[in-house]
A and B are shown apart, each in its own frame.
Chain A
Amino acid sequence: MNIYVLLKKTFDTEEKINVSNGEIEDDGAEFIINPYDEYAVEEAINQRDAHGGEVTVVTVGDEDSEKQLRTALAMGADKAVLINTEDDLEEGDAFTTAKILEAYFEDKEADLILGGNVAIDEASGQVGPRLAEYLGIPYVTTITDLKIEGENVTIEKDVEGDVEIVETSLPLLVTCQQGLNEPRYPSLPGIMKAKKKPLEELEIDDLDLDEDDVAAKTKTIDIFLPPEKEAGRVLEGDASEQVQELVSILKNDEKVL
């Protein structure tokens, strides 16, 4: 089975993030594999181990994305592809990434493509579904279970906390939700082996694309951190006084009543 994983490098949101002039500062920020993409890598490895084949991890990113690809290889993926847009593109959006991936997949015979349900940085959740549309294959998002028998696929899908069971067939694109599996930590020998695994680097030129073909369809106007949480107010007096004050606040200050 030809299995592909779409992987994105994101900021580590557990670390401190600084924003200036409407942009997140790269300096000092820590980068990780988008956590939802880790489920995709883990699932790809498990499916390969069950059904045979090969796992290729693909990212659209910059030179530094190599580190996240190496981590996926250390987890057990077989090959990695870095589509480096650093020199060609100033900005991109979900359309840009999906278009580039469409060109990449044009001559591939993918049986299964897995991605994260959403990236924790921009959170569009669009790249997977857009790519499936371009490739003309079925897709299922937010999956929490994946069973493949021959060409037939049975999926459990998270629907706002409920479970929907979907039957479909290969070739297929899925996006992975928390609960699908528990991603492994790369083993130390795996890390040492990862550097010997193939990592192909492409630019959009290699995919017969130019800048205009993939120009972003959206524009980011501003980026800012959420306001700091203010200290709560403690109401005083007996119960009836507190209720009166609360109602007054809800009516006059917060204007929600």
Chain B
Amino acid sequence: MDFNFSEDIEFLRQNVRKFVREEVEAVAMEIEEKNEIPQKIVEQSKEMGLFSLGIPEEYGGLGLDMVGKCAIYEELGKTHNGYTTLIGAHTGIGSVGIVELGTDAQKEKYLPKMASGEWIGSFALTEPSAGSNAANMKTTAEKKGDKYIINGSKHYITNAVDGHVFTVMAVTDPSKGAKGITSFIVEKDFPGFILGNVEDKMGLRGSHSAELFFEDMEVPAENVLGEEGRGYVNALKILANGRAGLAARNLGSSKRLLEHCLDYASEREQFGQPIIEMQAIQHMLAEISKEIAALEALTYKVAWMTDQGQRVVKDAAIAKLYGSEVYNKVADLAVQIHGGIGYMRDYPIERYYRDARITKIYEGTSEIQKNIIANELKREMK
């Protein structure tokens, strides 16, 4: 067994850490206030290659394996989660479909521009009537000659506002249920593509989620992603691939919160001593540290299993579930350790507390993760 990162990954990670610490942390409060990520940071991130993490080298990407991606995601998790989400959704569910399922022509057309960050990727599955029950979608795609005509709507779509390339799921054969769903690569400039309302969220400020409407939107037949009728399976595959990455981001945020807690507890004095000398605070810090250690081991084990080509459906769901639970617990304890100041907007702790909440909901709720885990357990018994 070897728990070390390769020299390359370690070097990449240190450089990303430096960038995050010096540049992104410096504007974290500004992102929160303006609900906008400064363009300078986005451009610097593109120049650094942060938008290209998982895209193969032949298409201008870094071609990192899952362990490498998770190491970078962990560093990106240590700062404003809205910024992390812009990159995470692009390099994760927003581009993985094309990387894994795309034809050579599709990869050549989309991946180089996605690797450079010129085109931002997004994943559009959720609809008002199709959340956890994704197969219940109403958006339809009807084939007409060498085109598909798509009608319907999506909502809560991360990166919808900045997005250029969308992986969109739509029903091509309503008689077949989940097997009648197909995935498409949709560009925002396709006629009939309409950006709807931008959601006002509790957290993840700077990352914009919105509604999408498709009105007789024309999509060329060559933009079918994977096989027709395999859209639902594709969506599940794309989501499964992203789960270890989400765990890594939550790991980074939890570690950052521990740093904040240690700093604050060492400085804050009550009853004539720094509160870090008090057992109640020490136990909270120990609890945070314990959870981080367990999440770290789990995250990188799943990433390693993915790179070994092992089946990770159950383990990735466990990592996603546990990562969100750890992050929420750590954020709650961090507010408690900070006391009043942890509740104030001019200090970053309450921001993490709000940002943590969505991690139990997006990319498959905790309940869905438990269903996946249980189904895999039943499958393993056979």
A residues with a Cβ closer than 8 A to B are 67, 70-71, 74, 184-192, 195
Contacts and interface: CB of A to CB of B under 8 A. Distances in A.
A188 B12 contact: yes
22 contacts: A70-B11, A74-B11, A74-B15, A185-B44, A185-B47, A186-B15, A186-B48, A187-B47, A187-B49, A188-B12, A188-B15, A188-B48, A188-B49, A188-B53, A189-B49, A189-B62, A191-B8, A191-B15, A192-B8, A192-B12, A192-B62, A195-B7
B52 A189 contact: yes
| Chain B CB within 10 Å, residue with most, of A74, A192, A195 | A192
Nearest to A14: B21
Given A185-B18, A185-B19, A191 B11 contact: yes
B41 to A, nearest CB: 11
Contacts of B8: 191-192, 195
| Chain B CB within 10 Å, residue with most, of A67, A188, A192 | A188
B11 A187 contact: no
Nearest to A71: B15
Contacts, number: 40
B111 interface: no
Nearest to A30: B14
Nearest to B60: A189
B50 interface: yes
Give the interface SS of chain B, mostly helix, strand, loop or mixed: helix
Nearest to A32: B18
Contacts of B12: 188, 191-192
Give the interface SS of chain A, mostly helix, strand, loop or mixed: helix
Interface of B: 7-8, 11-12, 15-16, 18-19, 23, 44, 47-50, 52-53, 62
Contacts of B44: 185
Contacts of A185: 15, 18-19, 23, 44, 47-48
A196 B7 CA distance: 13
A203 B44 CA distance: 38
B42 to A, nearest CB: 14
Contacts of B15: 71, 74, 185-186, 188, 191
B324 to A, nearest CB: 27
Given A187-B49, A188-B15, 6 more contacts: A74-B15, A187-B47, A188-B48, A188-B53, A189-B52, A192-B12
A190 B16 CA distance: 13
A157 to B, nearest CB: 27
Nearest to A194: B11
B262 to A, nearest CB: 13
A185 B14 CA distance: 11
A191 B52 CA distance: 14
Nearest to B10: A67
A192 B48 CA distance: 12
B269 to A, nearest CB: 13
A188 B18 contact: no
Contacts of B19: 185
B198 to A, nearest CB: 30
B23 to A, nearest CB: 8
A39 to B, nearest CB: 15
Nearest to B63: A192
Nearest to B50: A188
A164 B50 CA distance: 40
Contacts of A188: 12, 15-16, 48-50, 52-53, 62
> What 6 pairs across the A-B complex have the smallest Cβ distances?
A188-B49, A187-B49, A185-B19, A189-B49, A187-B48, A188-B62
